[in-house]
Amino acid sequence: MQPIINHLVQLQELIIARAQQEAGMPGAQLDQLDESIAALTKELPASVSTQFTRLLQKSPLAIVPVVNGVCTACGMALPISLVHEVHAAERICQCPSCARLLFYRESGARNTRKSPRRTDPPKVGIERFSAESLMIPELKGTDRDSIVAELCQKLEDEGFVDNAQKLVEAALQREAIISTAVENGLAFPHVRCIEGGALTLAMGITPKAVKFDPAGKAVTRIIFFMVIPTAASAFYLKLLSGLSQVFQKEENRTKLLEADTPEKLWKALVKTTRLAIQ
């Protein structure tokens, strides 16, 4: 049964990648992704395909990882016997609470972002997901892989994740599905299913344009890197869409590109996204 479970996870990643392309680059050519999704769906047993499709109609996620004995979609603590069954992968298991399919995930990077204290003033807009300490106005990396590594290391250095190397590996695996570079010199590399904290965003600017998509022609200067817990997967698409809309405008991109300190870059990001991201 493990091959079918792996197949479902791969299919879901393609479906999410398609949704990300739509949100980040309206009007994008999606034929290749559509063909891959159709081919993978056709290879599934009919009963599994029907169940998977029905779940996707209710939620963006049909299959989710179990972490520390908890369904990462709804947060329910699962019976120990069920956790063992998920790990054994001898059958396809479902969460008793949300009915999503479950799979076991090998350990990876963990989101260690601290929860706000009750005494802290409420945060709004982009401040809910990022911080000045996660801004890099002049990235040292000169290609996709080194830039991703630099942003992941920043997240670890500032105490937002616990293993930058595993985060890099997961991000590059995601890039292998389809590049997250979009129009207007933007890229949105990310890793989903990083549990333990809230959706977190780091951002960097390259001094010179780089070819973030090795197979494409477009070049990139503004890179948003996001760490996404399972439960925030649907909201991530809204955040991606909001950022894409804001930075389609050249004047907003210019404000980011002109910032030469983390403080100025943070202020420019907060100001330009104030109305679009709530």
Q: Are residues 214 and 254 in the same domain?
A: yes
- Identify any residues that bridge with 200 across adjacent strands, giving them in sequence order: 227
Residue 206 sits in which domain range?
125-273
Query: 135-136 and 70-71 as β-strands: parallel, antiparallel, unpaired?
Result: unpaired
Among candidate residues 104, 134, 157, the one where a domain is terminated: 104
Q: Are residues 136 and 265 in the same domain?
A: yes
Confidence (pTM): 0.87
- Beta strands (DSSP E) in 17-130 are 63-67, 70-71, 93-94, 101-104
* pLDDT value, residue 112: 80
* pLDDT value, residue 220: 96
CATH number at residue 17: 1.10.287.1490
Contact (CB, 8 A) for 192 and 209: no
Question: pLDDT by residue (tens digit) across 151-207?
Answer: 999 999 999 999 999 999 999 999 998 899 988 999 999 998 888 788 999 999 999
Q: Are residues 84 and 184 in the same domain?
A: no
Residue 266 φ/ψ, nearest 5 degrees: -65, -45
Which residues of the chain are under the pLDDT cut of 70?
A: 26-29, 107, 115-120
d(C-alpha 206, C-alpha 222), whole Å: 7
CATH number at residue 161: 3.40.930.10
* pLDDT value, residue 195: 84
Count of domains for the chain = 2
